[in-house]
Amino acid sequence: MHHPNVIPRIGKRFLSILDLDPEQLDACLGLAARMKRARAAGVPHERPLVGRHFALLFEKPSLRTRSTFQIAVRELGGDVIEPPADVAMGGRETIVDVARNLERWVFGAIVRTYAQARLQAFADAAPRLAVVNALTNEEHPCQALADCQTLQERWGSLAGRTVTFVGDGNNVARSLAQAAVMLGAHVRIASPKGYELPAVACSEIARRARFGGSLDLTNDPIAGVGNAVAIYTDVWASMGQESEAAARHEVFAPFQVNSALMSRAAPGALFMHCLPAHRGDEVTDEVIDSSVSVVFDQSENRLHAQKALLALMG
Ligand code: CP
Ligand code: NVA
């Protein structure tokens, strides 16, 4: 049990939402909200990263994650280095050796890569390095922090609220479910057959639920959105799955989030998307541009949530 007046710190690893205990998740989201208010009011906050560098290592494209980490580190007083792709992640030397070099120079590394196991191997090679998952094939924990911040801004508490993810049982769905059940939400994931969140991920998530939170999977998008107060979707083919895009387009068509599907959710239900969106595929313009869409709040909150994360790490 953490003392109520002491903000619980996060360790040197943020590879997954599951690296956080509930008190750490609450602390991170609370600090994110305070940092957002301070920034809007122009009130200076602490600069715990003065004298610290972070390496940004991205094996896949990024607008939001890269930009918000650059700003986050600098607003906290630190600086970033961005080793070019041709030397960063294992083409020229092993990722284990890259990690061991970086450990001698920088405080932390923010890594976007393919398999979670590759990120784990990188982190294992450099125990003194703070390591942040900036998206893997399996998880996107920084996104989930911003998503939960966005939901808490609307409702205060997520306890007892139904949040439905419609689409691929992917990295974004997994991290969202991990975080949201820890905050007491009922998470539903509606996916086509064969594209569900893996069973092992589901049992891990169910074990983390608090305040009556739960996880349910369905193959029926209409039943999935019933009573939901937020509908979340993501691209049908993630980065690295480009060769499957045409086949997935057929399978996922009934899972498009359009006005007809939104009308089956609770009245006023929010629309969420991690972005980038493929407009006309997983979501229509009408929905993503509607008054219930909070996609740019999510994008803004990437900055605040990651500032809080970095301020509490190490
Ligand atoms: N949502 C998200 O992670 O966006 P980027 O891929 O642009 O970083
Ligand atoms: N599921 C998507 C998320 C992009 C932010 C991908 O992995 O490409």
Taking only the tens place, the pLDDT of each residue in 61-111 is: 999 999 999 999 999 999 999 998 888 887 899 999 999 999 999 999 999
Entry pTM: 0.97
pLDDT, residue 3, reads 54
Helix axes 171-182, 199-208, angle to 10 degrees: 20
**Residues facing 13 on adjacent strands:** 131
pLDDT, tens digit, for every residue of 45-74? 889 999 999 999 999 999 999 999 999 999
- pLDDT range class, residue 5, cuts 50, 70, 90: low
Known catalytic residues? Answer: 112, 140, 143, 234, 274, 302
143-299 matches 13-139+300-312 in CATH topology: yes
User: Fold for domain 143-299?
Assistant: Rossmann fold (3.40.50)
Distances, alpha carbon 99 to alpha carbons 103, 119, 129, 246, in Å:
6, 10, 8, 37
The SS3 call for residue 217 is strand
Domain segments of the chain: what residues? 13-139+300-312, 143-299
Shortest-distance ligand to the CA of residue 134: 1
Q: Report the CATH fold assignment for 13-139+300-312.
A: Rossmann fold (3.40.50)
Kindly indicate the confidence band of residue 44, based on its pLDDT and cuts at 50, 70 and 90. confident
| Position 1 pLDDT exceeds 50 | no
| C-alpha of residue 172 to centroid of ligand 2, in Å | 7
pLDDT of residue 213: 98
φ, ψ dihedrals at 173, nearest 5°: -60, -45
Our mutation pick for probing the ligand 2 site, out of 58, 139, 166, 172, counting the most ligand atoms within 8 A of Cβ, is: 172
